[in-house]
Structure 1
């Protein structure tokens, strides 16, 4: 399993939660822009698109169902084969008040676990992320307790959606094993190593190999590099037997000093890298078979 795969898939994370318009003028903000970015990434070779939404008036991250519905419907109308992966990450951040740390300060997003997956239940994407991290994140704290993760996983399972398990440090992998053992999750696991977030996994070949060694033998994984390590870790992911992810959620530069003009340009570079290393790039239909995802009716035509 751990030799480079003959055929891999590329995921494009098109806008994210933390990248700001100040960092790049090419960040998609409105539902139309986000959908167009996903479709462009697909034309460049991405089989999966990872989707956050934003308030089109302010550019701020949002979890509004109407924005998700707008994006999903636009994509499905034009490319029903493309595999949609919606985030469930927002809603787990806690900022302690300086005078009373048990009181939430502005910036806290904690919400009831079921509210974090309302859009998943309503829209039934092919995949959604499920974060297992409880960690310091910059000056704040992200909280995903085992109990809350189980509550979210229950809604995801009942919606018939495949979770992609987001792993930010080695303890998250231990929790994933516990969730697989008790039936909260079912294998084969689909997971990602998120590297470069302060203070979690740091991006290096050694980190990828260490994390890979803790996975179930039948797992599919993608090593994700944040910031300047994005393309380096995309290559390392393939070499270690995994898949690739790039996009403006993870980084804004195509090369040193050169802003990426689009998500599609980042996918094109990742695809070229993978092909130069000997990989074939899987189509959405091939990825559905690879991951055991249902074939959409429009795909079967």
Structure 2
């Protein structure tokens, strides 16, 4: 289903959260596939997910990533699909690189947080495998480093990712730095928990891409618990369409 909004909305369906935080947090390949399809039908143009082991913890293992990607591909063919490479999933730069190198069932894109150790080498590896790179920018130092890098002209997307205390002034400062790179990559802005909905609205005002899902917030704008990812996406599409 196409979004009613002119703003690109991506669904981030689970993140590093664990199942004890929300009863509908998708973990298994089948759950990820169902959540991805529902989010797409609610208006999301793409999906970002964190493949997880049986314990509900993020994993970069090739078998786990492959099973998750294959399940979503089967259920929602053609839906642009991305995965995390978060350092927390394998906190060793060289081992992380080797783990991603072993991926054979590939998503369309993967996120790389630029402030993490080994980010540039990892981004180069992903590009060599034909994957799109979504670079995650958390602060000004990372933005400036990325803007000066050889990777900047080749990224699929630049994500300005603010924590719960992030505000629109910080977002605009980072946006200026990102745009100074003159990269052709579109910019996506999103927040986390308390900053999630205000920054989503700001993304709409700035004509930036944005995202929503249980990774970024468990709550609807009125403070009530969101039943699932599809409800969050539908609410975001409605807000951005006004």
Instruction: State the TM-score, normalized to the length of structure 2.
Output: 0.88
Selected match of 1:247 from 203, 213, 227? 213
CA shift for structure 1 position 53: 1.5
Shift of 1:26: 1.7
Match of 1:67 in 2: 64
The RMSD of aligned alpha carbons is: 2.1
Counting strand residues as a fraction of each chain, which structure ranks higher? 1
Shift of 1:111: 4.3
Name 1:115's counterpart in structure 2.
98
Asked if structure 1 preserves the Cα contact closer than 8 Å seen for 2:62 and 2:99, the reply is no
Q: Which residue of 1 aligns with 2:74?
A: 77
- The CA deviation at 1:196 is 1.2
Deviation digits for residues 263-297 of structure 1, max 9, x if unmatched?
A: 01100001101111xxxxxxxxxxxxxxxxxxxxx
Q: CA separation in 2, counterparts of 1:240 and 1:208?
A: 10
Higher-Rg member (1/2):
1
Taking the aligned partners of 1:211 and 1:15, their CA distance within structure 2 comes to: 25
Does the alignment pair 1:32 with 2:30?
yes
> Which position in structure 2 is the counterpart of 1:293?
none
Contact 2:134 2:155 in 1 (8 A): no
Deviation of 1:72 (Å): 1.3
1:272 aligns with 2:235: no
Which of the numbers 162, 165, 178 marks the counterpart of 1:195?
162
Q: Give the equivalent residue in structure 1 for 2:167.
A: 204
C-alpha distance in structure 2 between counterparts of 1:124 and 1:229, whole Å: 32
Q: Gapped runs of 5+ residues in structure 2?
A: none
SS in 2 for 1:255: coil
What is the match of residue 39 of structure 2? 41
Q: Judging changes above 3 Å, is the alpha-carbon distance between structure 1 residues 189 and 152 closer, same or farther for their aligned structure 2 residues?
A: same
How many residues are matched?
234
Distance of aligned partners of 1:230 and 1:274 in 2 relative to their CA distance in 1, 3 Å threshold:
same
What is the deviation of 1:174? 0.7
Mapped partners of 1:24, 1:78: distance in 2: 23
Per-residue deviation, residues 185-235 of structure 1 (Å, max 9, x unmatched)? 4246611111116xxxx4212112111111234441111110122121111
1:208–1:237 Cα contact (<8 Å) kept: no
| TM-score, with length taken from structure 1 | 0.72
Extract unaligned runs of 5+ from structure 1: 1-5, 94-108, 134-143, 277-301
- 1:92-131 deviation digits (Å, cap 9, x = unpaired): 77xxxxxxxxxxxxxxx32414135236x42232111111
User: Counterpart of 2:114?
Assistant: 132
Task: Work out which of the residue numbers 141, 146, 153 in structure 1 matches 2:123.
Answer: 153
Instruction: Check the 8 A contact 1:129/1:163 in 2, yes or no.
Output: yes
More helix by share: 2
